[in-house]
């Protein structure tokens, strides 16, 4: 079964909307206890993650924590518990996403130049330049359909 690793900030959670609404820098937001718990989901992101699960992929949330800010680890996990409880046992908090997955897996990330994403062994779905959930879902559907067709035996 293929896995899909999904970044949190900028892919599922609208970090920038939260930051801008409060007139804060990114570093100020990261240092604020409880900030992640207050962040809204990106429109359509939760439904999209659930759609990927429904396609039969094994979905994991893979997020890079702010360095040295211990409460952010728990706050990120608590956000998942509340908003995507089906992933409560599938949370990976890492500074190196290049260690995740293999050739058949996918990584959805909006900052592919961070957290060693470029060394991810599978397919990196870059959520940049207008590519977001609608496009990612199309890629994942095509892959699932091609995999299903390849697995059929023709008599």
CATH number of 50's domain:
3.40.50.1000
Chain centroid offset of residue 102 CA = 16
Residue-wise pLDDT tens digits, 53-83:
999 999 999 999 999 999 999 999 999 999 9
Whether residue 154 lies inside any domain: the answer is: no
Whether residue 37 lies inside any domain: the answer is: yes
* pLDDT-based confidence at residue 151 (cuts at 50, 70, 90): low
Whether residue 123 lies inside any domain: the answer is: yes
Task: Report how many domains make up the chain.
Answer: 1
Cβ neighbours for 152, distance < 8 A, ≥ 6 positions apart:
none
Whether residue 120 lies inside any domain: the answer is: yes
Whether residue 42 lies inside any domain: the answer is: yes
CB of 15 closer than 8 Å to CB of 71: no
Whether residue 40 lies inside any domain: the answer is: yes
Q: How high is the pLDDT of residue 6?
A: 98
Whether residue 46 lies inside any domain: the answer is: yes
Residue-wise pLDDT tens digits, 78-118:
999 999 999 999 999 999 999 999 999 999 999 999 999 99
Statement: the pTM of the whole predicted model exceeds 0.85: yes
Q: In what side-by-side order are the strands of the sheet with 123-126?
A: 91-93, 58-63, 3-6, 106-109, 123-126
Domain that holds residue 20: 3-149
Helices then strands (H, E): number in the chain?
A: 6, 5
């Amino acid at each position: 079964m293929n896995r899909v690793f999904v970044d949190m900030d900028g892919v599922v959670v609208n970090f920038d909307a939260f930051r801008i609404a409060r007139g804060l820098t990114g570093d100020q937001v990261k240092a604020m206890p409880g900030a992640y718990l207050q962040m809204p989901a990106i429109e359509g992101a939760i439904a999209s993650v659930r759609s990927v699960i429904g396609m039969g992929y094994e979905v994991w949330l893979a997020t890079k924590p702010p360095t040295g800010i211990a409460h952010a680890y728990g706050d990120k996990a608590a956000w998942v518990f509340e908003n995507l409880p089906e992933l409560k046992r599938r949370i990976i908090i890492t500074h190196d996403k290049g260690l995740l997955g293999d050739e058949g897996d996918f990584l959805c990330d909006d900052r592919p130049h961070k957290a060693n994403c470029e060394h991810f062994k599978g397919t990196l779905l870059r959520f940049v330049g207008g590519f977001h959930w609608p496009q990612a879902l199309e890629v994942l559907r095509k892959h699932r359909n091609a995999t299903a067709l390849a697995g059929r035996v023709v008599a």
